Amino acid sequence: MTAQATYLYAVIRPLPRGALDDLTGISGARVRTVERDGIGCVVSTVSLTEFGERELAANLNELTWLERVAREHDAVVRAAAQLTTTAPLRMATVCRDDAAALAKLAELGDRTRAVLQRLDGRIEWGVKAFAVTRPAPVPAAAGAVSGADYLRRRKQESTERQQADAAAAEQAAAVYAALADESVAGCRHRAQDRQLTGVEEPMLLNAAFLVEHSSAQRFANAVDELAARYPALRLERTGPWPPYSFASLDPS
């Protein structure tokens, strides 16, 4: 028999028995919920041939494996978040068995309760800001240009570029501040590399905001207004997300 373990997706406010029965999780396993003292946890059984220490280390180096598991994890978390307050756990949280998972949850006690309370009725929106690509500088007029003129022009172009970059960064900070005011909480992720985004423009802001369900439209409008106010930026809104970025046991 293959050794098995329990994979944990999220801490939840308990659901009625069988509420997630139709759901399949990682590697097609049936999703279950376990519960103790009014705190639930969404879990499924995984094989140690996939999630054992050595096997996991190898699998994590496979981008296709990583993407599949990330999407399977996300699908389960999203399904749970449709039904109840859901605090996602970090990917690849694995316990020996259900009893070990429950024991760990019990140990966390009131801290899990506090997280769920913070997330009740709220969703996450992502907002990214990119610097709009500037038009290429106008080529010099044809004809001879002295070396000094050339250097002077290059220096001026460089100064203008730096000023534009600084202004765009300031505007991105202003966008973050304005949206933090519109939301319950905000958090900044690291800006994504342009090779990973596939977008040529540099990313200046990669933020997430915790927003009341009922304020979703107001938040969207605020993003649109900021996009109009700062034409040097291109804003991109993603979501709604389960509140991944705000499911911390130790909120700052």
Residues making contact with other proteins (CB under 8 A): 5, 8, 10-11, 48, 51-53, 56-57, 60-61, 63, 66-67, 70-71, 73-74, 87-96, 100-101, 103-105, 108, 112, 115, 126, 187, 189-190, 192-193, 195-199, 206, 208, 234-241, 244-249
Of the pair 87, 175, the CB lying nearest other proteins is at: 87
Count the alpha carbons within 13 Å of 195 in the hemisphere toward its beta carbon.
0
Of the pair 17, 190, the CB lying nearest other proteins is at: 190
Judge whether 213 and 120 are in contact, CB under 8 Å. Answer: no
> How far is the C-alpha of 97 from the C-alpha of 95, rounded, in Å?
5
> How far is the C-alpha of 24 from the C-alpha of 193, rounded, in Å?
33
**Closest approach of other proteins to the CB of residue 71, in Å:** 7
Judge whether 229 and 129 are in contact, CB under 8 Å. Answer: no
**Closest approach of other proteins to the CB of residue 138, in Å:** 29
Of the pair 116, 168, the CB lying nearest other proteins is at: 116
**Closest approach of other proteins to the CB of residue 163, in Å:** 25
> How far is the C-alpha of 238 from the C-alpha of 241, rounded, in Å?
8
Of the pair 69, 168, the CB lying nearest other proteins is at: 69
The DSSP bridge partners found for residue 125 are 209
Of the pair 18, 98, the CB lying nearest other proteins is at: 98
Integer-rounded Cα radius of gyration of the chain: 24
Count Cβ atoms below 10 Å from residue 122 Cβ, excluding itself. Answer: 20
Of the pair 146, 252, the CB lying nearest other proteins is at: 252
**Closest approach of other proteins to the CB of residue 27, in Å:** 16
The DSSP 8-state label assigned to residue 26 in this structure reads: G
For the sheet containing 122-131, what is the strand order?
185-188, 203-212, 122-131, 233-241
The DSSP 8-state label assigned to residue 238 in this structure reads: E
**Closest approach of other proteins to the CB of residue 228, in Å:** 14
- Amino acid letter, 13: R
**Closest approach of other proteins to the CB of residue 30, in Å:** 20
